[in-house]
Amino acid sequence: DQQVKQNSPSLSVQEGRISILNCDYTNSMFDYFLWYKKYPAEGPTFLISISSIKDKNEDGRFTVFLNKSAKHLSLHIVPSQPGDSAVYFCAADVWGSGGSNYKLTFGKGTLLTVNP
């Protein structure tokens, strides 16, 4: 049973346009969400995160939106650049009152291709 789902294996957008990557989760205990970016032959790198007490977090061109009622989050990249072409992983964590349990649950990833 996959608790974090990225239903689009791939996405292609034009340079300068918006990229929207989606992620759904089923475990209502998840209260912290992260996005990681992975280039070929490299490990994933942390991109942006959001706590369940927020519905939006922004960092430069990257914005993550969280809809708790729908158990859905999305990553918006505006404007998209060719260097953004990578695999993007959504991940979820359970913090609760004791902090992180250090066990991130990842989605399968979405391959983003930004065309010049």
Q: Give me the least distance between CB of 36 and another protein, in Å please.
A: 8
15-44: contacts with another protein (CB under 8 A): 32, 34, 41-44
According to DSSP, the β-strands at 72-77 and 86-93 are: unpaired
Q: Are the beta carbons of 76 and 63 closer than 8 angstroms?
A: yes
Say whether residue 104 binds another protein (CB under 8 A): yes
Q: Are the beta carbons of 109 and 87 closer than 8 angstroms?
A: yes
Say whether residue 101 binds another protein (CB under 8 A): yes
Alpha-carbon dihedral 105, 74, 18, 58, rounded to 10 degrees:
-90
Q: Give me the least distance between CB of 46 and another protein, in Å please.
A: 4
Residue 37 or 85 with smaller CB distance to another protein = 37
